[in-house]
Structure 1
Amino acid sequence: MNDISYKLGVSKIFPCNYLPEQEERLLIAIDDRLANSESYGWLMTQGFRRSGEQSYRPHCPQCNACQSIRVITNDFLPSKSQKRSKKRNSHFIIKQSAQLKDSYYPLFENYINTLHQDGSMYPASFEQFKSFLSCNITKQLFIETWAPVTQENGLCEETLVCVAVTDVLSNGLSAVYTFYHPEYKNHGLGVFSILTQLSFCQQMSLPYLYLGYQIDDCQKMNYKDRYFPFERFIAGEWLLNSKASTNNHTIAK
């Protein structure tokens, strides 16, 4: 695919949503030939992400803070805190779906309207939910986390508390978005969902879990470099980061 030229668009410059006083611009894959699973997987190897049906990559005038990260799943070793997360949440029941269910919306709405009132998606709407999370260019995997809840009558029922929206690529999974019940925030479901996605990668023999953009100076976006070992996409190369060494090493493709 590297020998083929594709048509890309460049967005207008607008204020950055993550770093104050910075300006943001996007490189957008607008070529129809890129709107398929194989091409989307290739775009991910070039540092792109997806929102709805649109694949994009930061193309900012004077900033390169957004750096794509992918975890090397076969070599992943959980930290002590990540092991505690798996143990603390081991009572949850994990299920999966291949489609975006309308029944997810109340959970999504509660999550956005309770925990992200300062974000661009507030207030939540069903139309936004569908356009943001659904996708026709690649297969999807919706990883559901259910909590067993004992009712007053003594019967145990299952309550959906978290959904991790995940794209299926030829060389990995891509963590698109995770939303959860605000009452379960103390369970660290964001971390637990990444650990669950890593387990799915291992079960599916997929080498990478793409986590999106790491932004070191943004509190909301600087958590993705805690899953070792991982590769960070810098200046067109995937560079290895591991606990054993803080130096970057170029990985041959």
Structure 2
Amino acid sequence: MRPPTDTADDPIDALLHSEASTADQLMPCPYLDDQLACLPLRLPRGSLSGVDVDLLLATGFRRSGLFWYRTRCPACNQCVPVRVPVHTMRPSRSQRRVVKRAQVDLKRQVEVPRSDAVRLELFNRHRLERGLGERALSMQDYEEFLVHSSAVSLELSFWLGQRLVAVSIADLGEQSISAVYTYFAPSYSKYSLGTLAVLQLADLAASCQRELLYLGYYVRANPHLNYKARFKPQQCLRDGQWQDHQESALL
């Protein structure tokens, strides 16, 4: 049972503790160079149900480890939450080719998130080769980021024979799935592993009777995030409302 709170009239405050004392401190933006970001972190007050997760996602929250956050940057609004209605999603011709190629060569596994030396090595190699970080993460760092969760989470892993080539971590809501983080071996670019992970999460969502696939933030100026506009039809959260958008509206 969730402990009583004097903020229960606000559905978000009923789910999440108040922001940390460092909530208003600016930090280097993880998505855009030469920008400052404000990403206040909040811990859940108790265990989160699938309905709770749906509410947080629908109001623009993202999860990182045990924490939930949404951007509150004073001088920038380039991070746009996006989601795809699963049952109306229309893969492009090139996306369909990605799926067909994977069906021939790759094996997909679905399990709870886990940590081991193979996953950590692939994670750090992905970050290094794609310029996503200067410091290699430790096993503890990895577990705090991708294994420890305040939601019901799953791991999609993709294998070429006995070789792990990609991992995607996702959260399960009552009516949604949220893509938390995906990493892969850049040397296997012919498989378009980032695109494949999104398509396979959409397939999993449909098979689990989930209506929505949340893709996180679209950031036009970030080449690692602006690919999300290719998954259509798509909805974007602007001014507190989810709006239908075509690719041209994002690019």
TM-score of the alignment, normalized to the shorter chain, above 0.5 = yes
Confirm or deny: 8 A CA contact 1:11 1:28 kept in the other structure. no
Give the match's secondary structure for 2:235.
Answer: strand
Please state how far the C-alpha of 1:146 moved relative to its aligned partner. 1.4
The partner residue of 1:187 within 167, 191, 201 is 191
Aligned to 1:146: 159
CA distance in 1, matches of 2:12, 2:173: 22
Identify which range, 61-70 or 93-102, moves more after superposition: 93-102
The partner residue of 1:26 within 20, 39, 46 is 39
Please state how far the C-alpha of 1:94 moved relative to its aligned partner. 1.2
Aligned to 1:176: 180
Confirm or deny: 8 A CA contact 2:115 2:147 kept in the other structure. no
Confirm or deny: 8 A CA contact 1:93 1:146 kept in the other structure. yes
The partner residue of 1:108 within 87, 98, 123 is 123
Confirm or deny: 8 A CA contact 1:40 1:137 kept in the other structure. no
Aligned to 1:154: none
The partner residue of 1:236 within 235, 240, 243 is 240
Identity %: 28
How many matched pairs?
A: 234
CA distance in 1, matches of 2:92, 2:12: 42
Aligned to 1:36: 48
Confirm or deny: 8 A CA contact 2:67 2:150 kept in the other structure. no
Aligned to 1:161: 165
CA distance in 1, matches of 2:134, 2:9: 35
Question: If each structure's helix is expressed as a fraction of its own residues, which one has the higher value?
Answer: 2
Give the match's secondary structure for 1:90.
Answer: helix
Structure 1 segments of 4+ aligned residues over 4 angstroms from their partners: 1-5
Query: Which deviations, in whole Å up to 9, do the C-alpha atoms of 1:45-65 show, x marking residues without a partner?
Result: 100101111100010002111
Q: Normalising to structure 2: TM-score of the pair?
A: 0.84
Confirm or deny: 8 A CA contact 1:72 1:229 kept in the other structure. yes
Confirm or deny: 8 A CA contact 1:8 1:31 kept in the other structure. no
CA distance in 1, matches of 2:210, 2:11: 26
Please state how far the C-alpha of 1:144 moved relative to its aligned partner. 1.4
Confirm or deny: 8 A CA contact 1:144 1:162 kept in the other structure. yes
Query: Which deviations, in whole Å up to 9, do the C-alpha atoms of 1:7-41 show, x marking residues without a partner?
Result: 542240123233334321123324625x5234333
Note the residue ranges of structure 2 that are not aligned, 5 or more in a row. 1-7
Aligned ranges 1:66-215 → 2 under 5 Å: 66-91=79-104, 92-102=106-116, 103-113=118-128, 115-116=129-130, 118-120=131-133, 122-148=135-161, 158-215=162-219
Note the residue ranges of structure 1 that are not aligned, 5 or more in a row. 149-157, 249-253
The verdict on how the C-alpha distance between 1:5 and 1:55 changes in structure 2, with shifts beyond 3 A counting, is closer
Confirm or deny: 8 A CA contact 1:71 1:208 kept in the other structure. yes
CA root-mean-square deviation: 2.3
